[in-house]
Structure 1
């Protein structure tokens, strides 16, 4: 069975995602399509607006055959660690032929070439990087400068490296390819050029708008507008949630809990991305902040970008500081947790069980590993933001089975 894979958050699933699913099936000629999906919290450091089980069912209704949850230590992490965790799960399944992802570039050869530079770190590039870091530049800018210098005489790319690396989907695409190279994986990467609005668009400008814009529509209560940007099935699901007085989760709801933690137990130092002094800075910022946006802006600096502060605060909300750094920086996933599947997905699971060393989880064990324990804890934290989800929902919910659509 030829099998392709997608890594996504579907927060929420929109027409651009649907286009990606259809493109992947057509381009790869696959018999089955797997999605690795973030669970309760996402890479930007925000809660998923809709719970992971409902989003997984939306994915199955939209053409995915099997949805696997990305553990929270990867889902709320930098692009590099997010990508590494997701790609390694796919690689360890030992059944994936293609990994499909969107990019602003749409040029898979260019993405692979730059990915190789980042993975193999040739001496000239490494020297450039070190020199830029020594000058006090943030890591992202240092990397951009080093790549620009390394590539200028090699006829690799004549466009703007700054523009290329300032595009969110390009960054993830590079990290996916870098992870595949480092793992010496046989999975072939393919890319689809992003259509419509950019990743950071806050107000819809086209039918292919961003998930950010959709979350803003939901936040504003303009639910009648949503149908323009999602499939009929997704729209029906959202309408059903509204009729049942579902509580959509937003990051602002984390603010009072974060403020309380910062005032009473400001141990941010246990979080790998939080350097010395950030805990004191955020404590002082909390004294002056009336909302999460203000708190993030008080922490933002040349070294700490808005998104990085957002992720650190989300990790703090989840209690990452209580776990050893060795776990939070663990590069090898331990399990494959199933969220939803259809008939084709059921056959995939049978095949995976024969070929993988990963623990396939459809029911939580009595003694979960620390990595899985943190996933369970993230659901408990999510239940504070979305009261329709019980704190111990992980123990009651089985993977959703839906017939193929």
Structure 2
């Protein structure tokens, strides 16, 4: 049996995701798809508009065979740690033959060239990087400039295509996936599919492959859901309509703001300084903006800069809301994923679970263990916090819900 892994968020699952699932099967000739999926909070620092159990049902109804939860310490991190957590989880299962992901470039050899360069760091690349840093470049800009210079001369890519490729969000993730495979000395083969349709952060429903961002915008505006019919699989559309009819509360980022502000204003200590991504004095700037801003958007706009992106600030605020400062997340996210939590599986997936249990280097959890480590403890805390934004979900949902079986 050939097994392929995919790394997803499904916020929500749309036609582009269905294309990815089907194309993965075709490209890798796989018999079974394992999805590592973000839980109730996503990499951009936003709550998932649909909880992880409902997302699991949607995934299983659209071609995924097993859904595993990516712990929040990775799912709410930069591309590097998000990718490492996901890939290390798939690698530890011992049955995954390939991973397949979308990218703007659609060229796995390009992604391998960049990844190899970043992992191996040949002398010329190191020299170029040092030169840029000595000239006052920030590390990300220095690394990007060194990459462009090196690849332009050694691999004969044009400067224009390098600039475009290295600044595209899914290419960045793809590079990190391949880097992680190399660092883990993994036998898993990487494949990539050229992304179709709307860009990752596009806000317009402009074609059949519209982005999750544009779909969330419709839900946020409380517009008629009929406009989504041609942009999500039919079963996803019917599920979302059913949820809305049950008064399901689709959570959005701005809903966290009153709780973040209350916590910050009522605390004697600035706990932002304990969040690794809020280093270099950024924690003071965040607290000041919370004192002055009227709402979530204004707060982020007051903080963001060329150095500190909107997404990074959003992620820090979300980490604060979830209480990341109570954990040593700096060290936790550097380690390989310590367990695999099963959110759901199909009959086809059930046939592979025995093989997974026999080959996995990490424990598999279909129910919560007696001894809960820090990574899992943080996930349980995330569910409790999510229940504040989405009362449809119990604070104890992780204890009450068994894996979805379809």
**Is the TM-score greater than 0.5?**
yes
Q: Distance in 2 between the 1:66 and 1:329 partners?
A: 23
Q: 2:276 aligns with which of 255, 258, 272?
A: 272
Shift of 1:366: 2.8
Which residue of the partner structure matches residue 175 of structure 2?
174
Unaligned runs of 5+ in 2: none
Which residue of the partner structure matches residue 405 of structure 2?
401
Shift of 1:328: 3.5
Residues 340, 363 of structure 2: 8 Å contact kept: yes
Residues 85, 333 of structure 2: 8 Å contact kept: no
Shift of 1:139: 3.2
Q: 1:312 aligns with which of 316, 339, 359?
A: 316
Per-residue Cα deviation, 1:264-287 (whole angstroms, up to 9, x for no partner): 332111111111322221111112
Q: Residue 33 in 1 paired to residue 33 in 2?
A: yes
Residues 132, 145 of structure 2: 8 Å contact kept: yes
SS at match of 2:216: helix
Which residue of the partner structure matches residue 354 of structure 1?
358
Residues 101, 191 of structure 2: 8 Å contact kept: yes
Which residue of the partner structure matches residue 56 of structure 2?
56
When structure 1 is superposed on structure 2, of 50-59 and 135-144 the one drifting more is 135-144
Residues 94, 355 of structure 1: 8 Å contact kept: yes
Per-residue Cα deviation, 1:172-221 (whole angstroms, up to 9, x for no partner): 01000111111111111111100111111011111101000010011112
Q: Distance in 2 between the 1:365 and 1:86 partners?
A: 21
Residues 32, 344 of structure 1: 8 Å contact kept: yes
Shift of 1:288: 1.7
Q: Distance in 2 between the 1:220 and 1:54 partners?
A: 21
Over the residues paired in the alignment, what is the CA RMSD in angstroms? 1.3
Per-residue Cα deviation, 1:35-77 (whole angstroms, up to 9, x for no partner): 0000011110111110000001100000000000000000000
Shift of 1:326: 5.1
SS at match of 1:273: helix
In the alignment of these two chains, the number of paired residues is 402
Which residue of the partner structure matches residue 237 of structure 2?
235
Which residue of the partner structure matches residue 113 of structure 2?
113
Q: Residue 344 in 1 paired to residue 345 in 2?
A: no
SS at match of 2:16: helix
Residues 6, 36 of structure 1: 8 Å contact kept: yes
Query: Which runs of structure 2 are paired with 1:10-21 in the superposition (5 Å)?
Result: 10-21=10-21
Per-residue Cα deviation, 1:332-387 (whole angstroms, up to 9, x for no partner): 11100000100111111111000012110111123310110000000011111111
TM-score (norm 1): 0.97
Q: Distance in 2 between the 1:293 and 1:122 partners?
A: 42
Q: Residue 281 in 1 paired to residue 278 in 2?
A: no
Cα 1:330–1:114 shift into 2, 3 Å: closer
Q: Distance in 1 between the 2:350 and 2:271 partners?
A: 44
Q: Distance in 2 between the 1:147 and 1:53 partners?
A: 41
Which residue of the partner structure matches residue 138 of structure 1?
138
Per-residue Cα deviation, 1:153-176 (whole angstroms, up to 9, x for no partner): 113422422211111111101000
Which residue of the partner structure matches residue 195 of structure 2?
194
- Structure 1 segments of 4 or more deviating over 6 A? none
Which residue of the partner structure matches residue 324 of structure 1?
328
Per-residue Cα deviation, 1:248-268 (whole angstroms, up to 9, x for no partner): 010100001111122233211
Query: Which runs of structure 2 are paired with 1:43-82 in the superposition (5 Å)?
Result: 43-82=43-82
Residues 138, 302 of structure 1: 8 Å contact kept: no
